[in-house]
Amino acid sequence: MEAIAADFGIKQALEQLGVGILNEGSSTGSNAFSTGEILESYSPVDGHLIGKVKTTTKTDYEKVMTAATEAFKLWRVMPAPQRGDIVRQFGDRLRKNKEALGKLVSYEMGKSYQEGLGEVQEMIDICDFAVGLSRQLHGLTMHSERPGHRMYEQYHPLGVVGVISAFNFPVAVWSWNTALAWVCGDVCIWKPSEKTPLCGIACQNIIAEVLAENNLPEGISCLINGDYRVGEFMTRDTRIPLISATGSTRMGKIVAQEVAGRLGKTLLELGGNNAIIVTPDADIKMTVIGAVFGAVGTAGQRCTSTRRLIIHEAVYEKVKQALVDAYKQLRIGNPLDETNHVGPLIDVDAVDMYKKALSKVKDEGGQVIVNGGVLVGEGYESGCYVKPTIVEAQPDFEIVQHETFAPILYLLKYSGSVESAIAIQNNVVQGLSSAIMTNNLREAERFLSVEGSDCGIANVNIGTSGAEIGGAFGGEKETGGGRESGSDAWKIYMRRQTNTINYTTELPLAQGIKFDL
């Protein structure tokens, strides 16, 4: 770590963010507390220990819940624009810490420094969005069927919102939820991934400073740390009306069943098996750029990563050769070095899944056209660096139906009309992101129609990866059906109430019912 720290300013970043070698794992702000076991965070960049976190015990959790529920009583009655101003201050503080937090994201998670900066920028962007939203939380007015009556609906905050996030976006997805939940009047408890706990500590330190400067309760933003057992504290807790969970489909099904069993609400962002359709009318240069970034960005560990490239037979060989040439230019190594394109996978378990997927697709008859493998030697000591690979496959291969969180791209050939390609794309259980590359207006509109892509995100002439915060983010089928970030995603963090006011001296009943006394 010494060389990394000296070359890329990691130590300075950790100091700036208030992250030490031993950090508390349960926090309602600056007065942290925890009595749990030690959770160690190792960097996939070089395999070195970055820091340690105390995990949250049940006793710790109860203290956090007490702080959160008490804070909610004050926070919910603060005018929404004032809550928005707190979020504005948080966004400004993120701007000051963007480089430091971006480096920590890169070093603890393994994505490129540019992607780390981009993730913090997403946090800043959602804060800006939430500030504007704080003056636009609206209901509707309706005409009553009864004379002298007025009807309208309004939204109230839910209470304590639980957020469970994944390692691949260790800070951005939390902010998507909390920035909106905060302006809606909710307080939040966050369990970050046990693979990236220090990013959670850093974010909590930043918001804690803002809350302290405004004399607000620390319980508005709470942090707990640990594995799935700590997450179960929230999923089983009837005091938490909404659980927002990001991760695998397997995890999401467990969370959904647990929360549904107590009639709670869930917002699920789960797996993706995303495809780009390449038609004969595609711009090949644009296609290659979108496909390569989608496949290798974050080392293939985005929920929106491109897994399948569905290419028309008329341009198949041309696209394949262009991809092979592009992959030859990829540089794999330390993600803090901005000359590299691809960093490591999160850990050796992810490497093992990568190797098993490659073995499986070969067993099913796939033809490797860009060889993969694990990199060894100087600079790859962590054992987490792998080569992005391309495999020619068939749509019905069993492994192609699954999401492998690694840089493996499957090439699938189609013939005939764009409807054939859409059928291939939709024939998986996941439904997150999709794209089509075409300059044919009819093909594009067909792809976006009710008979087209069945995904929550459908793009034309851009890749599957990379979403702006202004639009609602999420997917269908086994992706979970949740929507986060922009548009009207704020509504899930609130409860809807319909109000009817009678301003007459009579009491007529609805539907013309007569009830005279």
Residues classed as catalytic? 269, 303
Kind of pairing between the strands at 274-278 and 306-312:
parallel
Cα–Cα dist 265/63, whole Å: 23
DSSP letter at 509 equals P
CB 41 within 8 A of CB 25: no
Cα–Cα dist 517/123, whole Å: 60
CB 106 within 8 A of CB 336: yes
Buried b (16+ CB within 10 A) or exposed e, 374-386: beeeeebebbbbb
DSSP letter at 398 equals T
Helix (H) or strand (E) holding 255: helix 249-261
CA 393 vs CA 27, 324, 409, 467: distances in Å: 48, 16, 10, 28
Place of tokens 């990001």: 246
Task: Give the 3-state secondary structure percentages of the chain, helix then strand then coil, rounded to 5.
Answer: 40, 20, 40
Q: What angle do CA 514, 516, 517 make, to 5 degrees?
A: 160
Helix crossing, 418-426 with 441-448: angle to 10°? Answer: 30
The residues facing 53 across adjacent strands are 23, 39
Cα–Cα dist 230/40, whole Å: 16
Task: List helix spans (H) across 185-244.
Answer: 197-213, 228-235
SS3 458: strand
Q: In what order do the strands lie in the sheet with 265-269?
A: 221-223, 187-191, 160-164, 242-246, 265-269
Cα–Cα dist 220/454, whole Å: 37
Cα–Cα dist 48/336, whole Å: 15
Cα–Cα dist 380/259, whole Å: 42
Tokens (6 digits) for 508: 């007529």
Cα–Cα dist 274/122, whole Å: 22
CB 464 within 8 A of CB 304: yes
State the DSSP string of 21-56: SEE-SSBSSSS----S-EEEEE-TTT--EEEEEEPP
